[in-house]
Amino acid sequence: MADTSDFKNGIVLRIDNQLQQIIEFQHVKPGKGPAFVRTKLKNVISGKVVDKTFNAGVKVEIANVDRRDMTYLYHDGADYIFMDGDTFDQISIGQQTIGKASGFLLENMQVQVATNEGEVLYVELPVTVELKVSHTEPGLQGDRSSAGTKPATLETGAEVQVPLFINEGDKLKIDSRDGSYLGRVNA
């Protein structure tokens, strides 16, 4: 148990049997009335973000979340297999836990796997990933501005919007959080 003075961004609280991660918080001391803490909480399982206000000094249960660096090995049916680099233990994580991040996973990629009491909560990829374009329509001659975009399929099967000058075989830098194009990587 901890109180509101122990709040930090990133810690996970257990509220109403739900795991909620603090995205941001603010201690408020109004001129009149008691102090309070305004927080923005993200549900670890569903990803839903809510605002919640706590009175100052309220006791809240902090959940023990273990974050481990793991290596993605391969995709096996509906499961993704990861290996702990220290113990060489392999774990299997389902598609529903990984979610949209599965479109940016490459074999041997280093990721962080967060667990609570042996249950996998989420998989966190690096913020940027470098992936090759496996298919895209050719851009028209003269389409060299950044005004237009076209769909491109990456080597992992994910589809992202890219500028018109991108060709098949180009290596791109992609933001793994939202799938947005960040730039071309020089090979």
Residue 140 — pLDDT band, cuts 50, 70, 90? low
Q: Are strands 128-136 and 149-154 parallel, antiparallel or unpaired?
A: antiparallel
Instruction: Name all domains of the chain by residue range, CATH numbers in brackets.
Output: 2-62 (2.30.30.30), 66-124 (2.40.50.140), 128-185 (2.40.50.140)
pLDDT for the residue numbered 144: 56
- Please state, rounded to an integer, the average pLDDT across all residues of the chain: 86
Q: Which residues contact 149 (CB under 8 A, 6 or more apart)?
A: 161, 162, 163, 164, 181
Residue among 23, 105, 5 nearest 59 (CA): 5
pLDDT for the residue numbered 96: 81
The β-bridge partners of 148 are none
pLDDT tens digits along 49-104: 999 999 988 899 988 888 889 999 998 888 899 998 888 888 888 888 887 888 88
Contact 42, 49 (CB under 8 A): yes
Return the percentage of the chain with pLDDT > 70, whole number: 95
